[in-house]
Amino acid sequence: MEQPSRDDIDRLAAESIGSGDATGWFEAVYKAAEQDPSRIPWADQKPNRALIEWLDREQLMGRDSTAVVVGSGLGDDAEELARRGFEVVGFDISPTAIEWARRRFPDSPVEYRTADLFSLPAVFEDAFDFVFEAYTLQPLPEGLRSTAIASVASLASPGGTVLVVTRGRDNGEPLPEPPPWPLSREELEVFEHSGLLLDTFEDYFDAERDPPIRRFRARYIKPSS
């Protein structure tokens, strides 16, 4: 199978979304990559820098707490959280991505699972002390984002933390084409409508990218009662 170019991935996304299947193209991309992570645009083969910076700054260690990575892909973020002492679940809608992560980290304590954010296992509800979501919401059409955000919020246990990292845009700013589509602060307010409390919000430019990319990094807390 020929490996996908950026244009191929954009075409797969457009066709899938246009047919009403907003997430099916992820599996197609992972399959077409044929175990070459360089063919997956979002697979950096290292933990998310925004996550590392935040964990270091907050001096957050797992201490037997539970964590989940939404759209865990090839597993780097899940492995980093496990290294810091969390009991981690990483889930992704792509079975190929999950099997790939298991092969990359054969001795990992992380539980890698195939799961759909729009149809989560019942055992995931209110189950995790720390929830990490980075870039999974960006490729979703606007009409699906509120449902997806509510699903992410549902993962946190009472008193738990949800950390969200995404591309950012001003309220009302037009969406670019093709995806990933930045989120606005107004869209992120759905986390609060879903029962979470906004703790911190950072609006910054990621200078590691050329040109720099505007990002939001937000921490939410689920009330204990």
**Would 14 be classed as within a structural domain?**
no
Lowest mean pLDDT among 15-24, 42-51, 89-98, 120-129: 15-24
In terms of residues, how long is the chain?
Answer: 225
Domain count, the chain: 1
pLDDT tens-place string over residues 139-157 = 898 889 999 999 999 999 9
- Confidence (pLDDT) at 3: 47
Q: In which domain, by residue range, is 93 found?
A: 43-221
- Find the angle CA(131)-CA(66)-CA(127) to the nearest 5 degrees: 70
**pTM score:** 0.91
**Would 149 be classed as within a structural domain?**
yes
**Would 214 be classed as within a structural domain?**
yes
| Most distant pair of Cα atoms in the chain: their distance | 52
**Would 195 be classed as within a structural domain?**
yes
The answer to whether 150 and 116 are in contact (CB under 8 A) is no
- Confidence (pLDDT) at 191: 98
**Would 9 be classed as within a structural domain?**
no
Grade residue 1 by pLDDT with cuts at 50, 70 and 90: very low
- Find the angle CA(68)-CA(28)-CA(125) to the nearest 5 degrees: 25
**What CATH number does the domain containing 171 carry?**
3.40.50.150
**Would 216 be classed as within a structural domain?**
yes
**Would 153 be classed as within a structural domain?**
yes
Q: Other C-beta atoms within 10 Å of 64: how many?
A: 9
